[in-house]
Structure 1
């Protein structure tokens, strides 16, 4: 049905059709088509059937129309439909006719419609055999909904029956063409519309803040159904239950599906959308599109039954019923207008109780199958009750990326079983209903938890001593200044163990260890364990108050330390042993006797606690042998191994490192003091030839993987590992993701070897663990469904020291293992189809920052102790650079400053728990239900309120680098790096960026001693070996995997103004600026623009020998950049991006540069100061003035050449002065063969490099550069 050019009738489209049209415009490649097919059994006259189709097509007004938007409104217009015919396909001779028919139907569903030209439906009769046919009907959703096409089917059956009997068909009862729009206009002008609007507005706040029960799709999608059937005999039970409960079958089905959503997503409040036909008496017989889905919120009480949910929903639906004509799209718009945003879009429940009792003469409808319900934005469950004895068909639709077909098919089967079982006993809690069949249960409980061989009950000393006996002369421990063999280490640990036993130490007694990373630290650990005791790590970096709490809470009677630490230790009632002053040579070096078994304590590690104080996790030896066996198997611990001791002893990753080395005969390498980041990390890996290391992704991000060729096995853990880190570090080595809480002996899963750039999975259980993904009722979550990760097995900790209540809360009885316990990890996870675990986040407020597990409640408790703070909340916010930072928000009175509260936290908390910023508010934002509105917490403003401008070139560059690394808009010369939220990881990045830009070698100690820009600039100046900021080619960011962006200076010759651009471009984008010769006051000035361009090309090629090139120029720099592109083109090189900021062909600018020819020096100085917003020393200004005069001379003799590529132009719209030149953008067109893309910006010429303008320019440049980066 192709249309001719002249419209016959015009009508305004309905609001429902407008919304479909908009969604189609937004996603033009997704055909918003709905489709169904009927299996027809019996004798069918194909010719008469096709004739009936043609007649009904001509009778249905909505099928005659197309749609066009004229800029003001969407109109539908009728066109001639001569030549349209239904399709007929015969696949009866095909080897697999059903498959051939399905392929043909999918092709018709997936083929887009041209809304302005095509017939917006496709009817196809498919012959399978003599008495078996399929009728497939496809519609664009703008033309039809489900209720509408059932009317069409009924009419087709009616017309075909009449034709078969040789009789005229009864008169068609369809409504006329504009019935839908006419009725909508009447409704929108009625009092009922206002009543309906008030009803939905009263619910808007509650609906807008509700969370959907299932994860949202990552965009609109067209999905095909996965179907399950509830047999007709089971449907009788559903009807009886509905009658007994006093609700309709539809309400019962809705309640059962909501209950399944609760089991699927685990939420008590279920936001969903209920599809309604929205037809009135006037449109009851109008085939077309009217249906929509209205939001409902079901609040399920704990242990809710199907009867509870059904009765609640019955009341909700009854309250909603009079208001169902108010469209869902209007509800969303009202929410947005009230400042509530779009609100969440819950899954759709679409109940379709349309009777399919019609027959096509002697041919009956054997079955009907929905192919698709169109483009969706979330899961949809469609229930078809065709009342034809075929039972209930449950069709599930989901994005294949979020839920592939096979898992979705299993959900459909589970849902069918769940509905039947819930209806059979409607009073039982829905949380008790088993979702899985026996095969699925066995897979989760047994098959995927076969965790390898039994490694016995060896304790840590036994594991070490076994290896020491095998390789006594091999090096066991290496530090920067010493080495110990296994025999030597064993002897020293034995002597210390004997000494500790003489002090009364034995099994389940704690020995504190407060030592820097050293040989003595490892000897102390082994000595404590060999004495039968457990060790308690106490980091020397912790605040004294925290150490005092840990010693007091643990009641450790002995503390091992040294003379360097003893002075800063808190007062302590127990015995202090200074190892560097202890002479144990007289003691025997054989192992002492000890009554130590696997169930005895091995160590106690304090972790962040939600109650305001850290909690001690008490871990036994029972899981250590299994962990060692898993590491040997998964980490390839064969041959000579050198294991890096990277982790602090206060974290259980140190246990993994010691087991890695000491259970394989390897060497544990202790690096030099200082943070292991950046070049120091690489130097340590290479100099010590480290073969195996466990390193956090945050630390890896500071170093170049290509510069660590010796490392054979890399284990990552402690935090989520980005895909980019996997891509960089997995090449050429084994890389494994390890996961495990302290409460389960360090590690419970290990991934398969990683590759590619995808986010790594948690992997499979280790030998000492069994893992379960459970819902809130401790029921097994199906594969692919999120739940909380529970851990069982030998590696479970005893619990929390002196915290029986908390231990009982987190360590619960295992319903799947008699007499065993489960640890509630608080981590959300799901099983993949391959039997691996995937991490999904936290079920509570616990956060991970730089690999540290942090309970915000502990930080909040410290802040709340301040007398002026009434309430606080601590969250982890992600910066644009991808780093997580702790930010505290406090409600306080009396003018307390955030900096004061941050100092309070720093005095009582470890460095990694100190918030990067403290934001003081009058009150914390709340949702309508009184809960904290986390989404409304403002972004933090780091640093002081008094901005101090940089005073010279070096300060300008340092301010820019501080801002880039800290992900801030600006940094003043007086701002402290650490007060702005900087930490050791960011400090390493800053030092690397300073080295790239200024060629200055700094250490983290330098930054601690000179943390603000002024002090650091002075420190660099005193060193005297930094790069000149006036060199011709100056790096702004020298690292990154993309081709660089070369930025050419404006009139004055300096390129510093481009430093702020780095904040808005990807961290993989290198940036260089080209500066004029002569800034040093000695170099010869450029004789011409072409000579200058050739000089700059030589500089560019010293960095990037071949194209494609990226060029950017502001003001005169734009003219030069265009000439550079022209010259590159002449020698066959391509410029992928030529971008210029507010400049035009030189012929236009001859009279405009620096005003008139006789520009005075003082005027020039004022203009330059405005451009750079900082003082410039007098000698430099004079050099720039001479350069400016030279630029005027050489541009007067220059004419812009023709360039064969594209040009990206950013043009200012506000005149800088009354007589400022403001050329039209198209003045560039005669100089180009390619496309001219123009972006107009509300600013002056001098403002083009200001931060507010860069916020506009930067993303546009990034979008262009990212495209060319992909093409690389």
Structure 2
């Protein structure tokens, strides 16, 4: 830091206008073009005026306009003998961004940094703790999220619902309806067939299928066999398919005859992995020969436990190469237990499943209702892009719960499709920032509450949520992400992982239960 600061002084004579011209920053009337925080050390002796027979006294003038968001003016102080006696710091601040109490807290943190540096000059900057004891206690209290949760797997919780309400509708679609008993039996037979193909705990099974009741049965069957599914959306680009298969190296591929051509030429795909074509007559005949009774650990290659993998889901790759995130049953169960405690589903609810199953929204659209005895309403492939179709499906099926990404919710509202959807009692959003403007528009079109969820794939889909979001007072700010969910702590941090004060819009870090510490990477 010292070298950088002294190096900058070598260019202190460069005219400010030249600097702005060379850097060509994006201009805005809301802020200074180059920086928003200034620190100036006033170490030049103050000028004096000495006139014969005239007494001169300097007066402070009131500052009415802040040039920067924060402006730290440091002046040196000397004793009567002219020896250094400390420094005074004056902080000027933009009143539309900060209040006095906030600036006083900033000043206190600045003093803590200076005291630490003076006492231990070798301390790395990122290791300096800017929080006081009360702020550390606050972070500890709000992150005390430990909660007893079911020590069960997804198949165990689904089996309990299937036994309790066998004749209730589990999955509804344009093409078919399955009761809990039918879905349980179909997935049990297929699970035994998968076990015959070597599927067991922590064995990866790639699933390339379109959204359908059959897809629901396949995902359940993989979990019941003990395996972990790797969702592969057939509409994804060839390069992404190549990366997923090459990285995950699944032991088995489950697909349909109509989609086999999508995998042609994908290394590790159609040619490199054993395939199970689910709608092939020969496959259907073999599956039908298996028992439909519930599976036990004696049927599996090894016992299934909560810490075994449930799925490996690949991120979008927006920050680099897509990563395969391995999530265990414990993480799925914890997530769904938390959302159930905040937005209670009952057997009367009907949840719309419209997202690609390659995204972790599947947890809310598919497994959440199935583990609570509700019904899954499956939208047709491609139907998620048609607001009119979605509105008709919501009305026809009396859907009560739906989840959008904010951009899709905006399209749905702009199409005027919300007025008829009176059966909805809860709308969830996530995956993107929710703007106050969209929140206002939602409130004008819906009577149902809006719940804003936040969290990456690495946190088992979600790490915090703001429930029953109301439009914000300041339209320039984002809607809140809300409070942390149970068990994973959600803590703001700097790049160097020093804890920041509560409410800072920075990075988050959390220990997500049921998440394997190492994500899938390409083999060396």
TM-score bracket, normalised by the shorter chain, equals 0.7 to 0.9
Correspondence 1:460 to 2:154: yes
- Number of the residue aligned with 2:37: 347
In 2, the alpha carbon distance for the partners of 1:804 and 1:768 equals 33
Once the two structures are superposed, the pairs formed by residues 1112-1191 of structure 1 within 5 Å of their partners are none
**Structure 1 474/550 Cα, relative in aligned 2: closer, same or farther at 3 Å?**
same
From 377, 382, 385, the counterpart of 2:68: 377
In 1, the alpha carbon distance for the partners of 2:136 and 2:505 equals 16
**Is the 1:493–1:526 Cα contact (8 Å) retained in structure 2?**
yes
**Is the 1:534–1:603 Cα contact (8 Å) retained in structure 2?**
yes
Once the two structures are superposed, the pairs formed by residues 997-1016 of structure 1 within 5 Å of their partners are none
**Is the 1:696–1:716 Cα contact (8 Å) retained in structure 2?**
yes
For residue 751 of structure 1, report the CA deviation from its aligned partner.
Answer: 1.1
Correspondence 1:333 to 2:36: no
- Number of the residue aligned with 1:745: 460
Q: Deviations over 1:1070-1122 (max 9, x none)?
A: xxxxxxxxxxxxxxxxxxxxxxxxxxxxxxxxxxxxxxxxxxxxxxxxxxxxx
- Number of the residue aligned with 1:727: 440
In 2, the alpha carbon distance for the partners of 1:338 and 1:628 equals 53
Q: Deviations over 1:358-397 (max 9, x none)?
A: xxxxxxxxxx999747432321113355557996543333
**Structure 1 612/713 Cα, relative in aligned 2: closer, same or farther at 3 Å?**
closer
In 2, the alpha carbon distance for the partners of 1:635 and 1:452 equals 19
Once the two structures are superposed, the pairs formed by residues 715-1114 of structure 1 within 5 Å of their partners are 715-730=428-443, 731-756=446-471, 758=475, 759-803=478-522
Q: Secondary structure at the match of 1:699?
A: helix
Q: Deviations over 1:613-660 (max 9, x none)?
A: 643222211211211111112223246211010211111111222232
In 2, the alpha carbon distance for the partners of 1:700 and 1:554 equals 33
- Number of the residue aligned with 1:694: 403
Once the two structures are superposed, the pairs formed by residues 152-551 of structure 1 within 5 Å of their partners are 300=1, 309=2, 313=5, 317=9, 320=12, 331-335=15-19, 340=24, 343-351=33-41, 372=63, 374-385=65-76, 387=78, 392-444=87-139, 446-451=140-145, 453-544=147-238, 546-551=240-245
- Number of the residue aligned with 2:305: 597
**Is the 1:620–1:798 Cα contact (8 Å) retained in structure 2?**
no
**Structure 1 395/339 Cα, relative in aligned 2: closer, same or farther at 3 Å?**
closer
For residue 769 of structure 1, report the CA deviation from its aligned partner.
Answer: 1.5
From 668, 681, 701, the counterpart of 2:390: 681
**Structure 1 694/546 Cα, relative in aligned 2: closer, same or farther at 3 Å?**
same
**Is the 1:379–1:398 Cα contact (8 Å) retained in structure 2?**
yes
**Structure 1 616/388 Cα, relative in aligned 2: closer, same or farther at 3 Å?**
same
- Number of the residue aligned with 2:274: 575
Q: Secondary structure at the match of 1:792?
A: coil
**Is the 2:492–2:502 Cα contact (8 Å) retained in structure 1?**
no
**Structure 1 378/489 Cα, relative in aligned 2: closer, same or farther at 3 Å?**
same
**Is the 2:228–2:311 Cα contact (8 Å) retained in structure 1?**
yes
Q: Deviations over 1:120-155 (max 9, x none)?
A: xxxxxxxxxxxxxxxxxxxxxxxxxxxxxxxxxxxx
**Structure 1 416/476 Cα, relative in aligned 2: closer, same or farther at 3 Å?**
same
Correspondence 1:563 to 2:276: no
**Structure 1 710/774 Cα, relative in aligned 2: closer, same or farther at 3 Å?**
same
For residue 485 of structure 1, report the CA deviation from its aligned partner.
Answer: 1.6
Q: Deviations over 1:213-254 (max 9, x none)?
A: xxxxxxxxxxxxxxxxxxxxxxxxxxxxxxxxxxxxxxxxxx
- Number of the residue aligned with 1:648: 356
In 1, the alpha carbon distance for the partners of 2:170 and 2:142 equals 36
Q: Secondary structure at the match of 1:453?
A: coil
Q: Secondary structure at the match of 1:701?
A: helix
**Is the 1:769–1:795 Cα contact (8 Å) retained in structure 2?**
no
**Structure 1 433/626 Cα, relative in aligned 2: closer, same or farther at 3 Å?**
same
In 1, the alpha carbon distance for the partners of 2:216 and 2:357 equals 9
In 2, the alpha carbon distance for the partners of 1:710 and 1:633 equals 21
For residue 557 of structure 1, report the CA deviation from its aligned partner.
Answer: 2.5
**Structure 1 756/504 Cα, relative in aligned 2: closer, same or farther at 3 Å?**
same
**Is the 2:453–2:464 Cα contact (8 Å) retained in structure 1?**
yes
**Is the 1:773–1:780 Cα contact (8 Å) retained in structure 2?**
yes
In 2, the alpha carbon distance for the partners of 1:771 and 1:422 equals 29
TM-score (norm 1): 0.35
Higher relative contact order (CA 8 A, sep 6+): 2
Q: Secondary structure at the match of 1:412?
A: helix
**Structure 1 566/724 Cα, relative in aligned 2: closer, same or farther at 3 Å?**
same
Q: Secondary structure at the match of 2:326?
A: strand
**Is the 2:113–2:130 Cα contact (8 Å) retained in structure 1?**
yes
- Number of the residue aligned with 1:661: 369
Q: Deviations over 1:329-363 (max 9, x none)?
A: xx3434466684675034222445789xxxxxxxx
- Number of the residue aligned with 1:987: none
Structure 1 unaligned residues grouped into runs of 5+: 1-299, 301-308, 356-367, 806-1272
**Structure 1 795/404 Cα, relative in aligned 2: closer, same or farther at 3 Å?**
farther
- Number of the residue aligned with 2:56: none
Structure 2 unaligned residues grouped into runs of 5+: 28-32, 47-58, 265-269, 298-302
Q: Secondary structure at the match of 2:192?
A: helix
**Is the 2:434–2:479 Cα contact (8 Å) retained in structure 1?**
yes
From 586, 590, 594, the counterpart of 2:289: 586
Q: Deviations over 1:880-936 (max 9, x none)?
A: xxxxxxxxxxxxxxxxxxxxxxxxxxxxxxxxxxxxxxxxxxxxxxxxxxxxxxxxx
Q: Deviations over 1:1175-1213 (max 9, x none)?
A: xxxxxxxxxxxxxxxxxxxxxxxxxxxxxxxxxxxxxxx
**Structure 1 413/666 Cα, relative in aligned 2: closer, same or farther at 3 Å?**
same
In 1, the alpha carbon distance for the partners of 2:491 and 2:108 equals 22
In 1, the alpha carbon distance for the partners of 2:199 and 2:227 equals 6
Q: Deviations over 1:980-1016 (max 9, x none)?
A: xxxxxxxxxxxxxxxxxxxxxxxxxxxxxxxxxxxxx
**Is the 1:744–1:795 Cα contact (8 Å) retained in structure 2?**
no
In 2, the alpha carbon distance for the partners of 1:498 and 1:318 equals 74
**Is the 2:455–2:462 Cα contact (8 Å) retained in structure 1?**
yes
**Is the 1:646–1:695 Cα contact (8 Å) retained in structure 2?**
no
Give the aligned length.
Answer: 476
In 2, the alpha carbon distance for the partners of 1:613 and 1:569 equals 21
Correspondence 1:627 to 2:341: no
Q: Secondary structure at the match of 2:411?
A: coil
**Structure 1 452/664 Cα, relative in aligned 2: closer, same or farther at 3 Å?**
farther
**Structure 1 610/476 Cα, relative in aligned 2: closer, same or farther at 3 Å?**
closer
For residue 795 of structure 1, report the CA deviation from its aligned partner.
Answer: 4.2
**Is the 2:38–2:68 Cα contact (8 Å) retained in structure 1?**
no
**Is the 2:254–2:275 Cα contact (8 Å) retained in structure 1?**
yes
**Structure 1 569/334 Cα, relative in aligned 2: closer, same or farther at 3 Å?**
closer
Q: Highest CA radius of gyration, 1 or 2?
A: 1
